[in-house]
Amino acid sequence: MQFTLSAQPPFSLPAVVRSHGWAQLAPFGIEEDSGRLTYVVRLESSRVVALAIGEAPDGVSVEVDAELDPLEQTEVGGMVSWMLGLDQEFDAFYALAQEEPKLARVVERAQGRLLRSPTLFEDVVRTISTTNTQWRATIRMNAALVDHFGAPLAADPARRAFPTPEQLAVLDEAALRSEARLGYRAPYVLELAQAVADGTLDLEALKSTAMPTPQLRKRLLAIKGVGNYAAANLLMILGRYDFLPIDSWALKMVSREWHDGEQIGPAEVEAAFARWGEWQGLAYWFWAWEE
């Protein structure tokens, strides 16, 4: 079946897909011929379906490889809207960006939205998998989690959904180390899955919380395996841009841009974007860096 969803303008599906590397992580994919974003998901009913999301006038078209009942269609629609940030608007950021040459093209390109997973649980696991490693290892870890522990698509069992907290919670640390090769992250992911599965931690409630960003940041930092960089990354996924995801790349690029290549620390990165206030994360993310 197929249906359409509207987006807050301006909107560009390619801009969302290219916003960061999530589209390269299973079970995301990109169709070579059409360029549509694909995703395999397990619904609340436990059905596993494949989505193919393409750009449409004023939004996106969503093709599902199965017929959905009204409740399932509502679930998928809400899921896709969240993943693509269809209801987000960036007028205030765009007004500021138009005054900065290094951000002059963000409006033209409809940049601002960051691709998100359907659940914050999945995004926390993904973010933990990016820490202290190279990107190819992050790709491998996510693929292994999906291949070994995700529920299969009935029409194509080789394609699987991202494992739910309940599916991971019953495992042990050894399985996550040997099968998913998570290394030191294994106990963090296991503890997170168990806390979400037993209701101790309600991550999904953080999507709509009204708590101030510093308080939300503390809540994220309380998750084992989530440090300053990971918390800032997750805040941006949640639509909070007050903090910068500072890693070695950020240090290098800010050093080149403002400090003639001299060694700097996080304080210099923060100072470079402090004037952007609540939008500093986006200003940093979409800055026209010179490699």
Q: pLDDT at position 61, please? A: 98
Query: Could you read off the pLDDT of 105-127 as tens digits, one per residue?
Result: 999 999 999 999 999 999 999 99
- The mean of the pLDDT values for the chain is 97
Please write the tens of the pLDDT for every residue from 140-173. Answer: 999 999 999 999 999 999 999 999 999 999 999 9
Q: What is the pLDDT of residue 43?
A: 97
Please list the residue range(s) of the chain that carry CATH number 1.10.340.30. Answer: 120-216
Region of 163 on the Ramachandran plot (φ > 0 left; ψ -120 to 50 alpha; else beta): beta
Please give the CATH number for the structural domain made up of 120-216.
1.10.340.30
pLDDT tens per residue across span 236-273: 999 999 999 999 999 999 999 999 999 999 999 999 99
pLDDT band for 20, please (50, 70, 90 cuts). Answer: very high
Q: Report pLDDT for 70.
A: 96
pLDDT of residue 214: 97
Residues spanned by CATH 3.30.310.20 within the chain? 2-103
Contact 30, 37 (CB under 8 A): yes
Q: Which CATH number fits domain 2-103: 3.30.310.20, 3.40.1160.10, 3.30.420.40, 3.40.50.720?
A: 3.30.310.20
* 253 Cβ contact partners less than 8 Å away, ≥ 6 residues apart: 287, 289
pLDDT digits (tens, 9 = 90+) for 186-243: 999 999 999 999 999 999 999 999 999 999 999 999 999 999 999 999 999 999 999 9
| pLDDT of 291 above 90 | no
- At 290 the pLDDT is 79
